[in-house]
Amino acid sequence: MPQSAERIKDHATLFNEPEYLALFERKKALECGASAEAVAEQTEYVNSWEYREKNLAREALMVNPAKACQPLGAVFAAVGFERTLAFNHGSQGCTAYFRSHLARHFKEPCAAVSTSMTEDAAVFGGLQNLVDGLANAYTVYKPNMIAISTTCIAEVIGDDLTAFIQRARKDGSIPEDYPLPQAHTPSFVGSHITGYDAMVKGVLSNFWNGKAREPNDRLNIIPGFDGYAVGNNRELKRILAEFGVDCTLISDVSEVFDTPTDGAYRMFDGGTTLEAATAALNAKATIAMQQYCSEKSLELAASVGQETAAFHYPMGVGATDEFLMKLSELTGKPIPESLEKERGRLVDAMADSSAWLHGKTYSIFGDPDFVYGMTRFVLEMGAEPIHLLSTNGGKAWEAQMKTLLATSPAGAKAQVWVGKDLWAMRSLLATEPCDLLIGSSYGKYLERDLGIPLIRLTFPIFDRHHHHRFPVWGYAGGLRVLVTILDKILDVLDVETAKTGISFDLVR
Helix (H) or strand (E) segment spanning residue 361: strand 361-365
Q: Contact, 112 vs 85, CB < 8 A?
A: yes
* Shortest spacing between CB 187 and ligand SF4, in angstroms: 4
* Shortest spacing between CB 149 and ligand SF4, in angstroms: 9
Q: How many residues bind ligand SF4 (CB under 6 A)?
A: 8
- Which residues partner with 454 through β-bridges? 437
| Angstrom distance (rounded) from CA 483 to CA 460 | 20
The residue among 148 and 300 lying less far from ligand SF4, judged by its C-beta, is 148
Q: Contact, 203 vs 280, CB < 8 A?
A: no
Residue 154 lies near ligand SF4 (rule: CB under 6 A):
no
The residue among 94 and 110 lying less far from ligand SF4, judged by its C-beta, is 94
- Which residues partner with 113 through β-bridges? 87
**Angle CA(87)–CA(92)–CA(95) in degrees, nearest 5?**
55
Residue 152 CB burial class (10 angstroms; 0-12, 13-18, ≥19):
middle
CA distances (Å), 189 to each of 38, 47, 64, 103, 349, in order? Answer: 39, 31, 16, 24, 42
| Angstrom distance (rounded) from CA 304 to CA 319 | 28
Residue 152 lies near ligand SF4 (rule: CB under 6 A):
yes
- Contact with ligand SF4 (CB under 6 A) among 15, 97, 141, 178: 97
Cα separation of the two ends of the chain: 46
The residue among 151 and 297 lying less far from ligand SF4, judged by its C-beta, is 151
Give the DSSP letter string of 176-237.
TTS---EE---TTSS-HHHHHHHHHHHHHHHHHTTPPP---S-EEEE--S-TTHHHHHHHHH
Residue 179 lies near ligand SF4 (rule: CB under 6 A):
no
Q: Contact, 431 vs 48, CB < 8 A?
A: yes
Residue 324 CB burial class (10 angstroms; 0-12, 13-18, ≥19):
buried
* Shortest spacing between CB 271 and ligand SF4, in angstroms: 24
What track of x and - describes contact with ligand SF4 for positions 132 through 151 (by CB under 6 A)? -------------------x
Residue from 246, 250, 260 nearest 229 by CA: 250
**Catalytic annotation, residues:** 152, 156
Question: How many residues are recorded in the chain?
Answer: 508
Q: Contact, 112 vs 104, CB < 8 A?
A: no
The residue among 152 and 349 lying less far from ligand SF4, judged by its C-beta, is 152
Residue 94 lies near ligand SF4 (rule: CB under 6 A):
yes
The residue among 151 and 320 lying less far from ligand SF4, judged by its C-beta, is 151
The residue among 184 and 420 lying less far from ligand SF4, judged by its C-beta, is 184
Residue 356 lies near ligand SF4 (rule: CB under 6 A):
no
- Among positions 49-78, residues that touch ligand SF4 (CB under 6 A) are 69, 71
- Among positions 381-400, residues that touch ligand SF4 (CB under 6 A) are none
* Shortest spacing between CB 98 and ligand SF4, in angstroms: 7
What track of x and - describes contact with ligand SF4 for positions 184 through 223 (by CB under 6 A)? ---x------------------------------------
Segment lying near ligand SF4 (by CB under 6 A), choices 89-97, 349-357, 383-391, 410-418: 89-97
The residue among 191 and 248 lying less far from ligand SF4, judged by its C-beta, is 191
Segment lying near ligand SF4 (by CB under 6 A), choices 54-62, 91-99, 309-317, 361-369: 91-99
Give the DSSP letter string of 423-442.
HHHHHHHHHS--SEEEE-GG
Q: Cis omega (within 30 of 0) on the bond before 2? A: no
- Among positions 272-291, residues that touch ligand SF4 (CB under 6 A) are none
- Which residues partner with 145 through β-bridges? 84
The residue among 62 and 493 lying less far from ligand SF4, judged by its C-beta, is 62
* Shortest spacing between CB 498 and ligand SF4, in angstroms: 44
* Shortest spacing between CB 61 and ligand SF4, in angstroms: 15
The residue among 254 and 392 lying less far from ligand SF4, judged by its C-beta, is 392
* Shortest spacing between CB 369 and ligand SF4, in angstroms: 21
Name every residue whose Cβ is closer than 8 Å to that of residue 476 and which is 6 or more positions away in sequence: 235, 342, 346
Q: Contact, 297 vs 286, CB < 8 A?
A: yes
Segment lying near ligand SF4 (by CB under 6 A), choices 5-13, 90-98, 422-430, 469-477: 90-98
* Shortest spacing between CB 150 and ligand SF4, in angstroms: 8
* Shortest spacing between CB 116 and ligand SF4, in angstroms: 13
Binding interface with ligand SF4 (CB under 6 A): 69, 71, 91, 94, 97, 151-152, 187
